[in-house]
Every structure is written in structure tokens, then in C-alpha cells.
Amino acid sequence: GDSVTQMEGPVTLSEEAFLTINCTYTATGYPSLFWYVQYPGEGLQLLLKATKADDKGSNKGFEATYRKETTSFHLEKGSVQVSDSAVYFCALSEVGNQFYFGTGTSLTVIP
């Protein structure tokens, strides 16, 4: 079945450091891939998405490229800020709209 494996946290970085959060997936078809962010006490917000192989999703300085050959969708940001501290979830969705989420990676950025 479909599944998402996400890098375990927590991750602690200094401000302006480079961020990578790894995500790999298993799917039977051709899923869309997503990164969601959850700030403390809030629901999930869509950060970025990619719907087909080699697509790059980007938003707020974050990027992720849909790599079919490595079944990966790693999240990157060149220079993190304190305000990026949150939990990040990788997810996939195939036809029928059911989502499969990774376990989440907690990021803390210290000044």
C-alpha cells in the first residue's frame, strides 16, 4: 500500500542555517506529493506541492522536487528563520483524495 517515510526529528538549527528534511514514499500509481506545516496549536497548512515527476514545489523559500527515480520529495530551505519553527509533514495523495502522512518532523530554529 501507499506510505510515506519521513526523517525523524526533532531538528534544531541556528538561524540562517540550511534545512533539509528527507521524505520518501511508496505508491502504487502516480501520486501528488505535499508538504504541510503545523505551527503550535494550529491545524495543517499546505506549504507546497508537486503533482508529477520532476515538478518542483516552492513557497516561502522552501522547495521540494518530485523525484520518481528515488521516490523522494525532500524539503529544503537555504536560510531558516526563527518563524519557521514548526512541525513539517510530508504527504501523498492518489486518486480518491485519500492522504497518507509521514510522522512529522519538528523543527526548532534558534536565534
Partner 1 sequence: GAVVSQHPSRVICKSGTSVKIECRSLDFQATTMFWYRQFPKQSLMLMATSNEGSKATYEQGVEKDKFLINHASLTLSTLTVTSAHPEDSSFYICSAGAQGIQTQYFGPGTRLLVL
The answer to whether 12 contacts partner 1 (rule: CB under 8 A) is no
The answer to whether 44 contacts partner 1 (rule: CB under 8 A) is yes
Whole-angstrom distance, CA of residue 49 vs CA of residue 110: 27
The sign of the torsion formed by the CA atoms of 61, 62, 66, 69 equals positive
Distances (CA, A) of 108 to 10, 29, 67, 86: 8, 34, 27, 7
In this structure, the number of other CB atoms found within 10 A of the CB of residue 9 comes to: 15
Among the listed residues 3, 12, 14, 46, the single contact to partner 1 using CB under 8 A: 46
The answer to whether 14 contacts partner 1 (rule: CB under 8 A) is no
Closer to partner 1 by Cβ: residue 41 or 111:
41
The answer to whether 89 contacts partner 1 (rule: CB under 8 A) is yes
Whole-angstrom distance, CA of residue 20 vs CA of residue 37: 14
Among the listed residues 26, 45, 81, 83, the single contact to partner 1 using CB under 8 A: 45
The answer to whether 69 contacts partner 1 (rule: CB under 8 A) is no
Interactions with partner 1, residue window 17-36 (CB under 8 A): 32, 34, 36
